[in-house]
Homo-oligomer: A and B are copies of this chain.
Amino acid sequence: MNGAVELPLGQPELEFRAAGDTLVRRSVLPSGIRVLTERVPGSRSATIGFWVAVGSRDEHAAGSGHPATHGSTHFLEHLLFKGTETRSALDIAVSFDAVGGEHNAVTAKEYTCYYAKVQDRDLAMAVEVLADMFTSSVLDPEEFESERRVILEELAMAGDDPADVANERFFEAVLGSHPLARPIGGDPAAIDAATRDAVWEHYRANYRPNDLVVTAAGAVDHDDLVAGLTAALGGAGWQLDQPAAPVERRPTETPLLDGTSPLTVVERPGEQVNLVLGVPGLVATDERRAVLSVLNTVFGAGMSSRLFQQIRERRGLAYSVYSFAPGYSDAGVFGMYAGCAPKNAPTVAALLRTELERLAHHGVTADELARAAGYLGGASALALEDSDTRMSRLGRAELALGEFADLDEALRRVARVTVDDVQALAADLADRPFSLVAVGPVEQSAFRSVVDASEPRTDVA
């Protein structure tokens, strides 16, 4: 068993056994397409994803030369379901519905992924339809207008969800003017202003062979997949005989943040106040990611975590309370969420902050450390029973990390984390500038004692 394998862009073929006796293979095709598979013994189904390393942060990126407006990556993702040169939107939907497959896409801040989960016998169909969507969508102007309305409804739905709003505002508050701060879907004004031609240009500029990463896990044969994929893409008119290097991975850099806000209050009616409090976090490739996993587990995952025990179990102040720690190429966030009664919002916000500071000053116990290792081992093993998780892990390895680490290796890294490591990271995080976001029936002045807000931002919505 290999534990961890580097994924150099110039290496055409890689093959190794991973934990659980799966077979991982990776091919970099001459056209620059990368294909990664993980064959799971005994599996009867597979999940396949078509990825590009383009997300909401890349809209209006300096030097990109394309005029995409905010939200256009997500808009484009919707449009790929709306018809190709040979398939209508209904044809695409019927292909997957007729076999009971799952079929969807996700637009994230640094990538877009179109995926399907199907029984083994339907994988060839999934490859063909996804390849067609990826290469040959027409972005019909009439469908564009109809989908603009659908996206405005999607944004309106998210706008009616106070936890969603608090989460989006939190990224803006912590990351300030950084492109990762922006909401993935854009805003209604940007969607109203989007033009079919700008989205078309975004599509043509970013959906090329050397942008494409295909990952699949479960009941999948690597050679069959490469052959089926090549045939489908070639049949759709892609020139695969022109050699090209894969696009370079996004460089990882230390974040440069400005424009962060200590306090954002979105005052609106409701029964609860949705609070998110946190600080800038770690980048995806930070060497302390395993420490962060342990810290986040002890602090805010599961019913035995600090936040759950302190805020919910002991004081009954919230139903939902947890922490989260996503990392990107050149920034990350560490956040704590709680939904609570308006009258308790200042208390809960103060408790969230106090708990992180307590972790920084007093660290974790050896019991907590051992429990976190057990938690991460068991939860990861259960998650990896699903081919979705394995497909996503391959994508993250190829696009973000440049390295594939199997479960055994991931747990070895966790096992090396010490109580001192966790306390040192907690101290580092607690020393960063805090941002607090509150959405609900509460006034900014309620948080005066919690946040030293020289320039608080209040929106009334």
A378 contacts partner chain B, Cβ-Cβ < 8 Å: yes
A271 contacts partner chain B, Cβ-Cβ < 8 Å: yes
- Per the bound structure, the CA–CA distance linking A302 and B104 in Å amounts to 11
Enumerate chain B residues within 8 angstroms of A96, measured Cβ to Cβ: 302-303
A141 contacts partner chain B, Cβ-Cβ < 8 Å: no
Query: Is B160 within 8 A of A376, CB to CB?
Result: no
Query: Is A117 within 8 A of B318, CB to CB?
Result: no
Q: A160-B162, A315-B146 are in contact. Are A374 and B44 (CB under 8 A)?
A: no
A42 partner, pick from B42, B149, B308, B319, beta carbons under 8 A: B42
Tell me the smallest distance from the CB of A31 to a CB of chain B, in Å. Answer: 30
Q: Interface digits, A160-187 against B, CB 8 Å rule (1 contact, 0 not)?
A: 1110000000000000000000000000
Query: Is B100 within 8 A of A382, CB to CB?
Result: yes
Query: Is A341 within 8 A of B156, CB to CB?
Result: yes
A157 partner, pick from B159, B319, B379, beta carbons under 8 A: B319
Report the interface size for chain A: residues with CB under 8 A from the other chain.
Answer: 74
- Per the bound structure, the CA–CA distance linking A149 and B272 in Å amounts to 13
Query: Is A302 within 8 A of B97, CB to CB?
Result: yes
Tell me the smallest distance from the CB of A443 to a CB of chain B, in Å. Answer: 17
A89 contacts partner chain B, Cβ-Cβ < 8 Å: yes
Query: Is A150 within 8 A of B318, CB to CB?
Result: yes
A329 contacts partner chain B, Cβ-Cβ < 8 Å: no
Query: Is B341 within 8 A of A93, CB to CB?
Result: no
Query: Is B147 within 8 A of A90, CB to CB?
Result: no
Query: Is B98 within 8 A of A375, CB to CB?
Result: yes
A374 partner, pick from B99, B117, B317, beta carbons under 8 A: B99
Q: A90-B313, A380-B100 are in contact. Are A160 and B270 (CB under 8 A)?
A: yes
Q: A45-B385, A340-B153 are in contact. Are A378 and B303 (CB under 8 A)?
A: no
A127 contacts partner chain B, Cβ-Cβ < 8 Å: no
A396 contacts partner chain B, Cβ-Cβ < 8 Å: no
A353 contacts partner chain B, Cβ-Cβ < 8 Å: no
Enumerate chain B residues within 8 angstroms of A285, measured Cβ to Cβ: none
Query: Is B93 within 8 A of A308, CB to CB?
Result: yes
- Per the bound structure, the CA–CA distance linking A381 and B370 in Å amounts to 37
Q: How many copies of this chain?
A: 2
A386 partner, pick from B94, B153, B160, B386, beta carbons under 8 A: B386
Enumerate chain B residues within 8 angstroms of A272, measured Cβ to Cβ: 153, 156-157, 160
Query: Is B153 within 8 A of A304, CB to CB?
Result: no
A316 partner, pick from B94, B150, B308, beta carbons under 8 A: B150
- Per the bound structure, the CA–CA distance linking A38 and B176 in Å amounts to 53
Q: A98-B374, A271-B159, A380-B100 are in contact. Are A93 and B339 (CB under 8 A)?
A: no
Q: From A90, A157, A376, name the one whose CB has the most chain B CB atoms within 10 angstroms.
A: A157
Q: From A90, A117, A304, name the one whose CB has the most chain B CB atoms within 10 angstroms.
A: A304
Enumerate chain B residues within 8 angstroms of A371, measured Cβ to Cβ: 94, 97-98
Enumerate chain B residues within 8 angstroms of A160, measured Cβ to Cβ: 162, 270-272, 440
Q: A156-B341, A385-B44 are in contact. Are A379 and B103 (CB under 8 A)?
A: no
A122 contacts partner chain B, Cβ-Cβ < 8 Å: yes
Q: Interface digits, A306-322 against B, CB 8 Å rule (1 contact, 0 not)?
A: 00110011111111100
Q: A154-B319, A304-B90 are in contact. Are A100 and B376 (CB under 8 A)?
A: yes
The 5 closest A-B pairs by CB, nearest first: A100-B378, A149-B316, A100-B379, A93-B303, A146-B316
Given A45-B385, A101-B379, A153-B272, 9 other A-B residues pairs in contact with their CB atoms under 8 A: A90-B304, A90-B313, A94-B304, A96-B303, A97-B304, A99-B374, A146-B316, A150-B316, A151-B319
23 contacts between A and B (CB under 8 A): A90-B304, A93-B308, A94-B304, A97-B302, A97-B304, A99-B374, A100-B377, A100-B382, A101-B378, A103-B303, A118-B378, A146-B316, A149-B317, A151-B319, A153-B317, A153-B319, A153-B320, A153-B341, A157-B272, A157-B319, A160-B272, A161-B161, A386-B386
